[in-house]
Amino acid sequence: MTERPLTDDEAWAAVLRRDRAFDGQFVTGVLSTGIYCRPSCAARHPRRENVRFFATPAEAEAASLRPCKRCSPKDVARDERAVLAAIAAIKAAEEPPALAELAEAAGYSPTHFQRVFTRHTGLSPAAYARALREERARAALSDEGTVTDAIYAAGYSAPSRFYDETKGRLGMTASAWANGGKGATIHWAVVDTTLGRMLVAATDKGVCRLSFDEGEEALRARFPKADLVEGGEEFAALLGQVVASVEAPANGFAHIPLDVKGTAFQEACWKALREIPAGETRTYAQIAAAAGNPKAVRAAGSANARNNVAVLIPCHRVIRTGGDLGGYAYGLDIKRELLRREEAGD
């Protein structure tokens, strides 16, 4: 998925929003003061006629501009190197490194490094380490002979550490993951909505599937060894909330629990999607940046495509840089109508 360069109008809009997602993608030159800044700089906005945009700090300095002391735009590259080094250290360590240790290696204070790391990845170093180990655990649970072997293969020092860290987040039990969902109970229903027939399925943790024009056969193909139960009293209450949120998406749906799984980057992308206000859209490049890797535009598109819970993880709010709606798994008519309802406040 190739994104064209930002136009000056798009860059200026990012500056007016002080959008951190664009830090590192360009710098803002202020010709009247002779400085250049990050798009997110907290300083007072200059007049538009005094602004020129540059792709890199080097280009700005070649135009005789100097870096802003308030936002330190040249540190963006340093921050990125520090975060990448920390990620490598976390991946290589048997036990997650302490925040102080990671910060010292980067040359930052622990508090500042925590902010830098979170801004780039969407997760704190500790949360990133947990997500990485959970991701390894899911892979190992599919490959190892026993659950215990899988837990140790994922880097946990003991089974108790695995259960303590993943309680409430994995949704299905470790044994269920190892056996393709065997032992997990998923309640489901297909209901009529103004957008068409909608499939909703949920574990006891939350919604694990929301799609249009699918039924039991598609759900069984996705969870072949789970115990699929149509309906249910408790599920009916959740289903009512889901239908109401789909019919009126502008009212929000953060209160609806989800049970979704992905890589650390995919989950960061899904988190970024849920943070887009109703009535607004973002590009794939903006989602990649918000998820901590501005260059991973194609991977952000893949995370969008792997979203199992339509509407509640609002991938319909992602458009192409030029403003084109792009694609949608359930058709552009549904995407267009969801966006219309959100913009209208319906």
Q: 265-303: per-residue pLDDT in tens?
A: 888 899 999 988 888 899 888 898 888 777 788 888 889
The pLDDT of residue 128 is above 90: no
Confidence at residue 293, expressed as pLDDT on a 0 to 100 scale: 79
> Among candidates 245, 261, 243, 244, which has minimal Cα distance to 253?
245
The pLDDT of residue 2 is above 50: no
pTM > 0.85:
no
- Give the pLDDT confidence of 169-228 residue by residue, as tens digits: 545 554 554 455 667 789 999 999 999 999 999 988 899 999 999 999 999 888 888 889
Confidence at residue 269, expressed as pLDDT on a 0 to 100 scale: 92
Residue in the block written with tokens 């649970």: 141
41 is catalytic: no
208 is catalytic: no
Structure-token pair, residue 226: 């789970």
Alpha-carbon distance 307 to 267, whole Å?
A: 9
- Give the pLDDT confidence of 302-331 residue by residue, as tens digits: 899 889 999 999 999 998 877 788 889 899
The pLDDT of residue 167 is above 60: no
What stretches of 35-182 show up as alpha helix (H) in DSSP? 57-62, 75-92, 99-106, 110-121, 125-143, 147-153, 159-166, 174-178
Confidence at residue 291, expressed as pLDDT on a 0 to 100 scale: 84
Confidence at residue 152, expressed as pLDDT on a 0 to 100 scale: 55
Q: Give the active site residue among 68, 71, 208, 315.
A: 315
The DSSP result for 183-209, as a single string, is: T-EEEEEEEEETTEEEEEEE-SSSEEE
Least confident of 31-45, 54-68, 322-336: 322-336
Residue 260 backbone dihedrals phi, psi, to 5 degrees: -125, 150
> Among candidates 208, 298, 314, which has minimal Cα distance to 261?
208
Q: Give the active site residue among 37, 68, 71, 208.
A: 37
* Mean of pLDDT values over 153-165: 54
